[in-house]
Amino acid sequence: MKGGEKGNSFSTFGGVFTPCVLTILGVIMFLRFGYVVGQAGVMAALVIVIASKIITTLTTLSLSAIATNTRVEGGGAYFLISRSLGPEFGGAIGVVFFAAQALSVAMYVIGFTEAMMVLLPSGISSTLVATITNLLVAGCVWIGAGWAIKVQFVILASVIISLISFYTGAAAQFDVQTLASNWASDYRDGESFWTVFALFFPAVTGIMAGANMSGDLKDPARSIPRGTLAAVFVTLMVYASQAVFLGGSASRDDLIGNNMVVSDVSAVPILISLGVFAATLSSAIGSMMGAPRILQSLARDRVFARLDPFGTSSKDGEPRRAIFATAMIAQFGILVADLNTIAPLITMAFLSTYGLLNLATFYELITNNPSYRPQFRYSNRATSLAGAIGCGLVMLLIDWRWAVVASGLIGALHFYLTRANLNASWGDLNSGLLFERTRQNLLKLEDSLYHPKNWRPFILAFSGSGFSRPHLVVFGSWLTRETGILTLGQVIPGGLDDNSERLSNQESILHSIIKDRKLAAFPAVVVASDYTAGVQALVQCQGLGRLRPNVVLMGCPLSRDRMVVFGSLLRNLRELDRSIVVLRQTDESDGEDNAPPGTVDVWWRGRANGELMVLLAHLMLSHSTWRGRKLRLLRVVQNESAIDEVKSHLDGLLREARIVGKTKVVVSANAADAIQSTSRDAAFVYLGFAIPEQGDDGEFLEHLVALVGKLPRVALVCSAGDMKLES
């Protein structure tokens, strides 16, 4: 930059207060505020000014809080919103806010042209004048922000001189009777309070002028709150007093019909023309400086890939490609619209931005995130929420159709960016919001009485070292995908001193597998002296409060030596009141997430294990992979006389449980033969088992082998009895 100004060198007065004041005291004040006062009357005009300032003040409080909580870089409101609500909301509002800022350039240039045309000979094209002005504004900013800031000091002096001229002339012409006649509203030409509000509101949107320069400030966290709040207060006094002075010094017809009424009542009219030129040009320059920095920040964050070329800067730090794009959009606005058309559109865009900025602050507050420690202490939940609600209500009251369009546009952009799966390099409050909501829900769950109706599968599946038993993971996913929680457990035998690095590696491997297979699961790895101790540790320590694993899923040992250890583990799990599912699978699916053809058979031997088996089968069939398969509830009886009674009982069970399925009673003196012959073509089989007593582990294995035979996929279930099928 020239003049010795380097990046990050602007003070509160030069970098925030001056651009904010000059953007707020712009084209609306000189060329349209008389129209506002004439249509709405002095009283309603004051209400409009105060209501607008309340919204911008609340937004300034939110802006100040966020700005003092993070290292503010370029991009203004986009940067602050994206760092709080995430790149999806930030990107959506960034595009809208950039377009609004670029169209603001057009609005100010059109205002400048209106004032200039009074002094120029007739026959000169106003579009040509506006185009030349747009090029001059772009050229001014192209030279550098440092030069533009210095120009604004001269413009500020010009605005102050013009206001002195206005107040001097208006005071001399002030008449109480005229004020009384202009006190009440007298809407004409289809205007109303809210259409006039929409016309005026862009006048107060300059509060972002300083924030948009955030990347060029010496101390953004200090300058943005002080400079912006000071600008809001000063301009409130100016607009409120101007409404009273205009109402007391000009007739209603002049206020409504004469765009240069401010000039007519001033002591030195030529100074008002100077003020109009200065204010409109300064506002245009301010928007021309802010909009490219928003676009540049969007491009550097790679929110939209097509914007990448605008992320570059010249050697002196100016975003010249973005300046060119801003000038083109402003030129488009100049060619297709007028001041009264552009102003309401800009109003909707700014209100949307302000609403989301307030919402971002509100969410930061309610998440109780320890990282939210703003130096600015005057923003709280009430002010931020009131600001967000106020922006939404005003949008609807001004024009609900444009409000819906603006909200729909932001929503569509947010949906697009969500689908794009952006990987932001910064943290946002989404995870904090989820954490706080989860924390509150866990506390409520802890205080609630458990009821079997609320039983859901929280499965702790032991997938084996190095993910050696993937079929267990797939089976667990079938049971929990829609309604439960799946945790993948691994035990590393040995001491922690020797296995700390391996522990970290195994956790990373599990994370990668979960992500690659798109599983809804959590990893859990523990180092223990042996496998049994590790399983017991995970079962006892996993979860929070009442939210803890209620089903332990393991593979089936195939040797007597391993069964001795396994039997001891089963007895320990029984003491811990956990349901147990032992999966015996002999086919070669290798954990592929596909369902074989056939039925899902549940062999009923009573409620002890049967209720859990039926529910697990139902949950598995609810998974998209298993849809279309049928549930069969079966039971073996030893004589035919019991068929009707048992079948009626099984039908009643399914009916009371509200589960669709078929029932079948098999007559056989040998249960194992009946199960293997009846279910030989089944896709999956559920069988209940009783945990062996100590010393019976070998016989237990022989019994299981005889019972299951060559069935390829069998889930052996032992229920802890904490659920009811009819619930």
Strand segments (E) across 279-437 = none
Long-range pairs, 669-678, Cβ under 8 A, ≥24: 669/638, 671/636, 671/707, 672/706, 672/707, 672/709, 674/636, 675/603, 675/636, 675/707, 675/709, 675/711, 676/708, 676/709, 676/710, 676/711, 678/601, 678/634
* Residue among 184, 183, 165 nearest 173 (CA): 165
More confident residue, 442 or 550: 550
Strand segments (E) across 596-709 = 600-603, 631-637, 662-667, 684-688
For residues 270-280, one letter each, b for 16 or more C-beta atoms within 10 angstroms of the residue's C-beta and e for the rest, the string is ebbbbbbbbbb
CB 149 within 8 A of CB 18: yes
pLDDT at 112: 85
pLDDT at 277: 83
Percent of the chain's residues with pLDDT above 90: 30
Q: Does domain 12-419 have CATH number 3.40.80.10?
A: no
If 0-12 CB within 10 Å is exposed, 13-18 middle and 19+ buried, where does residue 545 land?
Answer: exposed
The answer on pLDDT for 3 being more than 50 is: no
Q: How far is CA 340 from CA 185, 197, 333, 346, 501, in A?
A: 20, 12, 12, 11, 67
Domain ranges of the chain: 12-419, 452-718
Question: How confident is the model over 527-538, as a mean pLDDT?
Answer: 87
**695-708 tens-digit pLDDT:** 888 888 888 888 88
Average pLDDT, the chain: 85
Mean pLDDT lowest for which of 36-40, 419-423, 580-584, 718-722? 419-423
Gap between the Cα atoms of 317 and 111, Å rounded: 30
Question: How confident is the model over 201-217, as a mean pLDDT?
Answer: 75
**602-639 tens-digit pLDDT:** 999 988 899 999 999 999 998 888 888 999 999 999 88
Whole-model pTM?
0.66
pLDDT confidence of 423, banded at 50, 70, 90? low
pLDDT at 465: 64
Say yes or no: do domains 12-419 and 452-718 share a fold: no
According to DSSP, residue 10 is labeled B
Tell me which H or E stretch contains 585. strand 579-585
pLDDT at 1: 38
Strand segments (E) across 470-537 = 485-493, 521-528
**434-481 tens-digit pLDDT:** 777 777 777 777 766 566 667 889 999 987 665 667 888 889 989 887
Gap between the Cα atoms of 678 and 568, Å rounded: 32
Fold exhibited by the domain 452-718: Rossmann fold (3.40.50)
